Chains A and B, each alone.
Chain A
Amino acid sequence: MLVVDHVRKDFGAVRAVRDVSFHIEAGSTFGLLGPNGAGKTTTMRMILGILTPDGGSITWKAERIDGRTRRRFGYLPEERGLYGKMKVREQIAFFGRLHGMVEPQVTTATASWIERLELPAYADRPCGELSKGNQQKVQVACAAVHGPELLVLDEPFSGLDPVNADILLGVLKELKAQGTTLVLSSHQMWQLEALCNEFCIINAGENRASGTLGQLRVAWPTRVIRVSPPTSAVRGILERIPGGHAIPSENGTLDFEVPSATTLPDLLRSLVAVDAVTLFEAVEPSLHDIYVRIIEERA
């Protein structure tokens, strides 16, 4: 288990991370969310031991993170970079060796990752000649070639076209199935929602919310009710709910935001009593909705 316990990091007078805490079960996939400058990258760097926290502690499987632990980690930084003149195959193998791999495993693993990321055509070309998307795939291979226990990916999908993003998503799902613990940050919420078991939303260097998507939804203060047909009788019932209000709808239904404490079976009974209701749906808030609300709430 990765335990991040009240970590703090200052850069001179700037406090990049004030107080961030979470824990991640081994083998799970964790989404670290937050706006630009929230402290995500600094937190990730502290997890990897690149930066030392000024306060708090980070442990992996109950051990402090040191050089030996770090060899079992993989990292895809937000800022991409490769040796431009080094060939793709050499580059991936180099990072494998840096993490302690030896022959013949390193050659086998390199070849496997080249196949997995659909890079055989570029294997013997210098990385500098590749497109940005393909360079990013090479970086993913560099980060994961040694079969890390914990893989930290900072904005892994940024700059990828939809096809390559799908390839990467598939690779991450494979790693997840193999039991690799994944920590991701991304602004592409739908991808995180599809991939992660748990989330932590941070802003201004502090925790704002954390838990599974279900737990985050439970804490959500309202629900959206979608009803059809949007007759005046139906509208009348909904407008009587304290704190309820209509929200714009694009598909001819009546969308109404009501407090989460509203008892939905009772509401349905009331609606059916006044009209022939053909659609009654409670729309769960998406990760994107929750994220935007939490960030705006504290702004």
Chain B
Amino acid sequence: MNEFITVYSAEMSRRLKSRAFRIGLIVGLAGVILFIKLPALLGGAFDTNGKTIVLSGDPALTARARTLLKKDFSIVGTSTQTSPPDPAFMKAHQDAGADVILARIKTGLRATVYARDPGNMDSTRLRRDLLPLNLQLATSLTQSRISSLLEMPVDIRTVASKFGSAAEADAARAVAYTLIFFLYFLILFNSQLLMSSVAEEKTSRIAELLVASIDPLALLYGKIAAAATLAIVQMVIWVVTAALLGGGASSGGAEAAAAPSSGALSGLGVIPPFELAGFFIFFILGYLQLAMLFASAGSLISRTEDLGSVSGPLIIPVIGALFIAIAALGFPDAPWIVGASLVPLIAPFVMFARIAVSNVPVWQVALSLVINVAAVWVISILAGRLYRVGMLLYGRTPKLRQVWATIRG
């Protein structure tokens, strides 16, 4: 136990001081912040052209249209001019992106838009917003009658779902989507850092001194535990940051609507405890499985240049698991998804996705946990064998057949 604690604390200290960890933490944090804040900031900048408009035409029409359009457009002025605007006109109206000329016609309302960037003008939204006025002019129905007709009640209900409404389900899916990426990034990033650390010990030739001093398994597990601790620290920092910033974004209403990704992250602040527990447990299981594989693979190489060749085959199942997990958000109960949620290496991602968006039967969660805990145990034995031999192996990276022979003992 003492050996384990010594390795654990030394590894923690080394990793905290390492450039890779610091850069990873900062880049991840910056990524979270950008993910939340940038869409809203850039969205506003890009949409200015299409959103700032001047309403022109009959004052009775423009006054009514102003009320209808204000939720989606920024109206910078009104005018009675019905001729095409020139650049001076646009400049005079706060450099508006478009001039919308409204005219009453026999069949209702006609809108002619002179936009500086026609491609950026959202005509669908304009048509939808002006629909009540168009109907009023075409049918002579009262404004309140038209409003009630347009607000036909549509009640979407879910069948055997954990969510009360479609909106709630969408929000949960968005949160789960984000967390799956967190899971993917955390597991892969930290497993690869661990692999580099093992490879560094191997290539710097300190490995032999270490395995002569302590049980190689204590060395391996101490390193894995230290990396897991720091991964959890990273995870907490990122998730809390996302929850705090996302919470702020959610109050922005229109901003959040304009940037769905930030809206997804805003939901991180209200993750159900069961889902949070699932995220944590499957993170630990997934991390342990992959970290042990990456560490034992790292012990096989003699030169850091060979890291890519041994890590490549291990990354493929993780990428596969990510895609399956994303699919699981849409089809959580499809038989192949249920099957995948039991398979080691893949299950940590897929089962978490299923838990986040559906009512997974308890027996399936329990079975997945049992299989994956057993997988951790089996992988620890096999990885331990490989690591014990690999740390003393120099020269060419062993072939798959030799690796298999080592694993079989």
B-binding residues in A (CB < 8 A): 12, 45, 48-51, 67, 70-71, 73, 75-77, 79-86, 94-95, 97-100, 139, 142-143
Contacts and interface: CB of A to CB of B under 8 A. Distances in A.
Given A84-B204, A94-B6, 9 more contacts: A50-B212, A67-B214, A73-B212, A75-B213, A81-B201, A82-B206, A94-B10, A98-B7, A98-B213
A86 B14 contact: yes
A83 B206 contact: yes
B209 A50 contact: no
Nearest to A41: B208
Contacts of A77: 205, 208-209, 212
Contacts, number: 67
A45, A49, A50, A82 — most chain B CB neighbours (10 Å): A50
B206 A51 contact: no
Contacts of B213: 70-71, 75, 95, 98-99
Interface in B13-55: 14, 17-18
Contacts of B206: 81-83
Nearest to B402: A12
A81 B208 contact: yes
A143 B209 contact: yes
B122 interface: no
B207 interface: yes
Question: What DSSP secondary structure best describes chain B's contact surface?
Answer: helix
Contacts of B18: 85
Given A75-B212, A94-B6, A97-B6, A45 B17 contact: no
A183 to B, nearest CB: 13
21 contacts: A45-B212, A48-B212, A50-B208, A51-B392, A67-B215, A70-B214, A75-B208, A75-B209, A79-B208, A81-B204, A82-B204, A82-B206, A83-B204, A83-B206, A85-B18, A86-B14, A94-B10, A95-B209, A98-B210, A98-B214, A99-B213
A182 B41 CA distance: 70
Contact of A81 (B17, B205, B392, B402): B205
A170 B74 CA distance: 87
Nearest to B203: A81
A100 B4 CA distance: 11
Contacts of A100: 2-3
Nearest to A51: B392
Contacts of B215: 67
